[in-house]
Structure 1
Amino acid sequence: MAHMGHTCSSLRTLKGLSMSPESTPSGTSANEYFSALLRVLTNVMESQSEPIARAADVLARAVAKGGILHTFGTGHSHLIAEELYYRAGGLVSVNPILFDALMLHRDPTLSTNLERLSGLAEVILKSETISPLDVALVISNSGANAVSVEIAEDLHRRGVSVIGITSLTHANSSESRAGASRRLHEIADIVIDNGGVVGDAIVTVEGFDQRVAPTSTALGAAIANAIVAQTVANLVAMGHHPRVYTSANTEGGDAANAESHQFAPSKKKAQ
């Protein structure tokens, strides 16, 4: 990837200076989180460059042929699915698969129960237009919830290339919740490991018996946007001029986005 070597070198320098909690400037839990997040992000950049490159290659070829990117996640993972939609600097060819009851703004307990419900994926996908030309990005930190797994399985059966973002450490852990027949990483065509720890939270506070501050959202958003960045670069190298949104809070942004949005995938009203 362009400029990857320079970036890796810069982050390795940072890693050598301040990656351990003991070396944070003030020893605060806030700085411990930043240091831990940077350490994991550096590891993702170095260890996951190959699947990220493959994901971008598959997506670029799909978009060049008129395909789109479907994104899906439940609970907090839906934030990453929505991150790529109608986003400044983001591809226009994105369709987030959104289902209100699987989000957190209505009832987080209901969302948690529903994401484990086998059969719901089939109902959700009935409202979506899917083509074998398309690509899907499915995000699940645990990789175990039935809806995410079955969304990936269903789309895979339809000939859609499935990219999965997950924590392999969590998915393969003995502490991972039992009951899932398959995990996301066993289904996805391309698996990107977000490098997260079991349970997601990464900071230990002295005198407190639980870890705090999760990493999956920050890492997932970084991975997703890295795929977009490389996809656009690939499309340009192929001689295309991909449609990308601009910030609505810049001069001419509204007009530019209105023009681009005419070419966006048709989005039905969320259930």
Structure 2
Amino acid sequence: MFEYIDQVQRLIDHLRSDQEESIKAAATVLTKAIKEDRIIHTLGTGHSQMIAMELFGRASGIANVSAMLDELLLLSNGARRSAAIEQVSGLASILWDKYNIETSDVLIIISNSGRNAIPIEMAQIAKAAGVKIIAITSLEQSKKYNSRHKSGQKLYQLADIVIDNCVPSGDGVMHMNNELFGPVSSIMGMVIVNTIVTEAIKECHRQNIPVTIYQSQNIDHTDNDRIYKQFESRIPHL
């Protein structure tokens, strides 16, 4: 019963053992960003936008996160439109200019396939600027298909740290009547980003590094206004 839950748990267990070192490395990068008061930028296209948004303005999450939420990418403007736009070259540089990403900041790019133009070009720009890049992608799927970018590169080839989300090619984990279904990349991505953030918070506490964390606005006597004012000049969507 509930095969989907069983499959998700299997992938999480695999992630925990297979990607331990990459997750630790990413947590170390985020710890440094918190310590140095740097911004952690997140980018996802398609449904990976949900993973990029997961860390932004999040109750119980760190405050120094800026999600790249341009209307060009949002699914709300049309699913087919969004899928087509992520393959268009030249748009990443426009997005980059909007967010004032500095060399000492961190950029987390989430792309399950790792083959489309926007995440690849964003990684290329960040790499040229000396920005630390953490990629979350399915290595199985990415290595199986050709890049859709003229460079022939894929996201995992450009990142400083690659975390394999351990998702099988095609995203689904269940089969019936020769059809694949049961997508898991969103769940796995959210597990990954929350794991690296919570590990970074724990390490900051071990080192007595202050961490600014949002609390739920739906709990009485919670006030995040001070945090909003602290970061609003550096984070566009606050």
Task: Report the CA distance between 1:264 and its aligned residue.
Answer: 2.3
Q: Determine which structure has more spread, i.e. the larger CA radius of gyration.
A: 1
CA contact 2:66–2:237 (8 Å) conserved in 1 = no
Q: Does 1:50 align with 2:21?
A: yes
1:32 aligned partner, one-letter code: E
Q: Does 1:128 align with 2:96?
A: no
* Deviation string, structure 1 residues 116-160 (Cα, Å, up to 9, x no partner): 011110011111111111111000000101100111111121111
From 210, 226, 234, the equivalent of 1:241 is: 210
Partner of 2:235, secondary structure, is coil
For residue 232 of structure 1, what is the aligned residue in structure 2? 201
1:192-203 matched pairs, under 5 angstroms: 192-203=163-174
2:225 aligned partner, one-letter code: A
Q: Does 1:102 align with 2:73?
A: yes
CA contact 1:101–1:107 (8 Å) conserved in 2 = no
From 113, 117, 127, the equivalent of 1:146 is: 117
From 105, 126, 130, the equivalent of 1:155 is: 126
**TM-score, normalising length from structure 2?**
0.95
Matched residues, percent identical? 32
CA contact 1:138–1:148 (8 Å) conserved in 2 = yes
Partner of 2:80, secondary structure, is helix
From 15, 32, 46, the equivalent of 2:3 is: 32
Q: Does 1:223 align with 2:231?
A: no
Alignment gaps of 5+ in structure 2 = none
Quote the Cα distance in structure 1 between the aligned partners of 2:165 and 2:135. Answer: 10
Partner of 1:213, secondary structure, is strand
1:201 aligned partner, one-letter code: G
* Deviation string, structure 1 residues 164-220 (Cα, Å, up to 9, x no partner): 0000000011xx255331111100000000000111011112xx3311111100000
CA contact 1:243–1:260 (8 Å) conserved in 2 = yes
Quote the Cα distance in structure 1 between the aligned partners of 2:85 and 2:146. Answer: 15
* Deviation string, structure 1 residues 207-263 (Cα, Å, up to 9, x no partner): x3311111100000000000110111111122112000111111222x1x1122222
* Deviation string, structure 1 residues 58-77 (Cα, Å, up to 9, x no partner): 11112211211000000100
Quote the Cα distance in structure 1 between the aligned partners of 2:147 and 2:198. Answer: 36
* Deviation string, structure 1 residues 88-119 (Cα, Å, up to 9, x no partner): 11110000011112121111111111100111
Task: Report the CA distance between 1:269 and its aligned residue.
Answer: 5.5
1:261 aligned partner, one-letter code: Y
Partner of 2:62, secondary structure, is coil
Structure 1 residues 50 and 269: alpha-carbon distance in aligned structure 2, compared to 1, 3 A threshold: closer
2:217 aligned partner, one-letter code: A
For residue 267 of structure 1, what is the aligned residue in structure 2? 235
